[in-house]
Structure formats: C-alpha cells, structure tokens
Amino acid sequence: EDYSKLLLSETVNQRIKEIFSNGLQNWFENLKENFKKFPHKLLPSNLLLFGGGSLLPEITEILERGNFANLTFISKPKIGLIYPENLKNIEDKTHILNTPQDIPLLLIFHE
C-alpha cells in the first residue's frame, strides 16, 4: 500500500518496481489474450480496475502505453478504478471498506 501511495524511499520504490517488472509484461500479454476471447470484436474504451493490484502504478502505466495490436477499442482505452461506493445495492455499514482492494471482498459476500 505504501508503494502504491509513493510513500517509500526512492531506493525501495525502485527495488519494488524491479520486482513487479518481471511479471508485468506476462500479465499484460495474458490480459490481451483474454480480450481476444470476447465475443464482440469492438472493445469498450473504459477499463475499470479493482483489487489490490489495481493500485500499482505499473498496472495503469502498462495499460496506458501498452501495445494493443490486433484489438479494437471504441476509442483509446481509459483506465479507471472501481471503489466500493461505485457499487449499487451494496452498503458498507462498517464504513471501513473504501479502496479498490476491498471490491473482491464485497463481491464475495454480496447476497
């Protein structure tokens, strides 16, 4: 979380970035392969992210600058995050679930 908020030292930030960079391109290639499986050939331009990994700056970076060759979007993809308050019909009475990383938990326990 501190890394995503850029609260760590430059040295630590750089080291963590190196660690993530190893798997990031594989993640992106896997995402593109899954997009190719969509029944519609024209993909929406809004890519909405959630979960703890969605807060990593590298995720947004690779999606914004990534090569989406052989995929057709309505317009240039725009990256956004889904927060608990964006979900209709789900109320957090505890008021402690407030980040994109909380979305999977809310979806699991939603009736």
Give me the percent of the chain exceeding a pLDDT of 90: 49
Q: What's the rounded Cα separation, in Å, for the pair 91 and 70?
A: 40
- Over residues 31-55, the pLDDT tens digits come to 999 999 988 889 999 999 999 889 9
Indicate the DSSP class of residue 81. Answer: E
**Residue 99 scores a pLDDT above 80:** yes
79 phi, psi to nearest 5 deg: -100, 135
- Residues 5-22, mean pLDDT to the nearest whole number: 91
**pLDDT value at position 1?**
85
Q: Which amino acid is at 34?
A: N
pTM score, whole prediction: 0.78
The position carrying tokens 């930030």 is 13
**Residue 111 scores a pLDDT above 70:** no
Secondary element (H or E) of residue 27: helix 10-36
Q: Which amino acid is at 64?
A: E
